[in-house]
């Protein structure tokens, strides 16, 4: 008896059904998830420590068993079997259900935490109370919605990171990179800030750098640092050093990948839990144009808002502190003018048409600084209260964009929506990478067979194949250096590098059939 084959693809087999082990693993994970759902429904568990451990343990165990059965029984190598034919990874019914569910979760988390059991006037209830024992153990305080979120966020990176490592275990770079994001999320983003609170120190995550850490320079945070003595001053100093010293040096050497793909928690979640959705990123030129306008507009907005927030914190009298409002404003304007002039003088050729957009952004910032100076006073900034402005700032960048859109839209628009369109840190690092960094993805066009794997699985929407076909090095501000394009290439065409180009064979010359003096190149390389 013949079986109807619904798969019309000429290049792939129909996705295999779940094995018995995978079904069992899915059931184990769903039981753990069901406990969390019961907690949301205000079920009062008699032993919260036991049921929390049981819930998180079952979710982790189910994921690990599923990943082991899925990948360990296959040969090493990238496996994207039937990814476009699965409902969850191909924008099908279950993808929309998951996307809507994640979006609703973020909406409730940010704006309606009382429905999760947060009680400012008494003991927590619901799912937040379930996490109270863990929070009390680490920080000595009851759980908040942010602790619940941080725990689940960290768990997702750890368990899906394990799955990612099994899938890409043939590639040493991917394995090390994944261990790195798992380490930074668990140690620096989750445990360390909670321990600092237990020690009566300010909440601080050293891996969260401005402008991604948008509240670093708010008045309440600066007051926290200053009131904490030497420890607080060190934290504030490290925050400044991270912006002006560490970030430029590491980006020059390694590109933005050192942060976006090795340290950042947002990137860590996108790379691990978001891996099944990387192929959904829009590769069209129209999407690329929108990306450039949106992300650089966000950067301009964040820069102006940070200046405004700092302006509201500083005083008018030099007798109190030398850094007055006027000194800060004109100092910021002078620094930005100097930076813009240097870029225009030395890197105008690389910017090409983007130079005029950079000029527009610079003009907006400078005009905003002048406006702050002339249209602010009595605690107001642009006729709005400083506190109200900070609230909007956190809402637009921290909640609406990075949370609701950035993660909730994984199954619909791909895993790097936030990184691609909204992250101001990615915008700053991207400009440095394009203009000053040694990092690039080199290509060997003569080896390219135009299979398109590289473009398909680029989560940042870069048409990598177009570069590979021409033998052109990829130097793009949006590239996060995840290395997946290189990992899925069957011919070894792509290579992540941060070395100089001296003594290289020009692949364009080879493609054109021109004579290349190989001995001359060898001699240049040996010098």
Give the per-residue pLDDT at 297: 82
CA dihedral 135, 140, 142, 145 (to 10 degrees): -50
Could you count the other beta carbons within 10 Å of the beta carbon of residue 179? Answer: 13
Give the per-residue pLDDT at 10: 47
Q: Give the CATH fold of the 438-526 domain.
A: Alpha-Beta Plaits (3.30.70)
Of all helices (H) and strands (E), which one includes residue 316?
none
Give the per-residue pLDDT at 177: 94
Per-residue pLDDT of the chain (527 residues; tens, 9 = 90+): 445 555 555 455 555 678 899 999 999 999 999 999 999 888 888 899 999 999 999 999 999 999 999 888 888 877 777 788 888 888 888 889 988 888 888 888 888 888 888 887 778 888 999 999 999 999 988 999 889 999 999 999 999 999 999 999 989 999 999 999 999 999 999 999 999 999 888 888 888 888 877 777 777 788 888 888 888 889 888 988 998 899 999 999 999 999 999 999 888 999 999 999 998 998 888 888 888 888 888 888 888 777 777 777 777 666 666 677 778 778 877 887 887 787 777 776 766 666 666 666 666 766 666 666 556 655 555 555 555 666 666 666 666 666 666 677 888 888 888 888 888 888 889 888 888 888 888 888 778 888 888 899 999 989 999 888 888 888 888 899 999 999 888 888 898 888 765 544 455 554 444 555 555 655 555 55
Give the per-residue pLDDT at 220: 76
Q: Is there a contact between 459 and 482 (Cβ–Cβ < 8 Å)?
A: yes
Q: What is the pTM of this model?
A: 0.86
Q: Where are the domains of the chain?
A: 13-73+112-200, 202-436, 438-526
Token look-up 């994207």 returns 80
Binning the chain into helix, strand and coil, the percentages to the nearest 5 are 65, 5, 35
Q: Is the peptide bond before 211 cis (omega within 30 degrees of 0)?
A: yes
Give the per-residue pLDDT at 340: 78
Residue 187 DSSP code: I
Copy the structure tokens of residue 301.
């907005």
Token look-up 């420890």 returns 231
Query: How far is the C-alpha of 456 from the C-alpha of 351, rounded, in Å?
Result: 27
355 φ, ψ (degrees, to nearest 5): -60, -40
Copy the structure tokens of residue 275.
């891996």
Of all helices (H) and strands (E), which one includes residue 497?
strand 494-497
CA neighbor of 434 nearest in space, from 479, 385, 470: 479
């Amino acid at each position: 008896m013949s079986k109807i084959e619904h798969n019309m693809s000429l290049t792939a087999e129909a996705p295999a059904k779940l094995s018995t082990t995978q079904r069992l693993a899915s059931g184990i994970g769903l039981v753990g998830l069901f406990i969390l759902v019961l907690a949301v429904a205000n079920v009062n568990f008699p032993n919260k420590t036991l049921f929390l451990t049981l819930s998180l343990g079952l979710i982790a165990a189910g994921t690990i068993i599923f990943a082991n059965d899925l990948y360990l029984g296959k040969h090493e190598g990238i496996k994207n079997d039937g990814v476009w034919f699965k409902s969850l990874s191909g924008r099908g019914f279950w993808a929309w259900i998951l996307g809507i569910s994640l979006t609703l979760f973020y909406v409730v988390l940010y704006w309606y935490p009382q429905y999760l059991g947060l009680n400012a006037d008494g003991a927590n209830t619901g799912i937040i109370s379930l996490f109270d024992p863990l929070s009390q153990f680490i920080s000595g305080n009851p759980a908040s919605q942010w602790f619940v979120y941080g725990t689940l966020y960290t768990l997702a990176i750890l368990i899906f990171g394990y799955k990612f490592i099994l899938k890409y275990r043939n590639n040493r770079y991917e394995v090390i990179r994944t261990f790195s994001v798992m380490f930074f999320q668990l140690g620096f983003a989750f445990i360390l800030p909670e321990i600092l609170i237990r020690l009566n120190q300010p909440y601080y995550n050293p891996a969260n750098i401005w402008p991604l850490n948008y509240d670093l320079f708010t008045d309440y945070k600066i007051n926290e640092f200053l009131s904490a003595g030497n420890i607080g001053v060190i934290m504030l100093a490290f925050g400044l050093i991270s912006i002006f010293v560490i970030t430029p040096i590491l980006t020059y050497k390694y590109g933005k990948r050192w942060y976006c793909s090795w340290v950042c928690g947002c990137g860590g979640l996108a790379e691990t839990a978001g891996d099944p959705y990387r192929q959904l990123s829009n590769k069209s030129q129209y999407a690329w144009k929108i990306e450039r306008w949106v992300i650089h507009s966000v950067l301009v907005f964040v820069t102006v808002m940070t200046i405004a927030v700092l302006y509201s914190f500083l005083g008018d009298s030099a007798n109190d502190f030398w850094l007055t409002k006027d000194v800060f404003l004109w100092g910021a304007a002078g620094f930005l003018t100097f930076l813009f002039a240097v870029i225009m003088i030395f890197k105008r050729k690389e910017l090409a048409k983007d130079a005029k957009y950079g000029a527009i952004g610079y003009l907006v910032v400078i005009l905003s600084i002048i406006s702050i100076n002339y249209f602010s006073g009595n605690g107001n900034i642009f006729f709005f209260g400083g506190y109200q402005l900070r609230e909007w700032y956190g809402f637009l960048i921290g909640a609406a964009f990075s949370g609701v859109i950035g993660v909730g839209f994984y199954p619909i628009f791909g895993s790097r929506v936030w990184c691609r369109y909204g992250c101001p840190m990615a915008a700053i690092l991207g400009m440095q990478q394009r203009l000053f960094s040694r990092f690039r993805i080199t290509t060997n066009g003569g080896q390219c067979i135009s299979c398109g794997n590289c473009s398909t699985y680029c989560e940042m929407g870069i048409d990598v194949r177009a570069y590979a076909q021409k033998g052109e090095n990829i130097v793009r501000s949006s590239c996060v250096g995840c290395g997946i394009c290189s990992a899925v290439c069957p011919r070894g065409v792509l290579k992540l590098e941060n070395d100089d180009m001296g003594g290289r064979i020009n692949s364009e010359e080879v493609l054109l059939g021109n004579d290349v003096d190989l001995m001359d190149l060898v001699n240049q390389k040996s010098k």
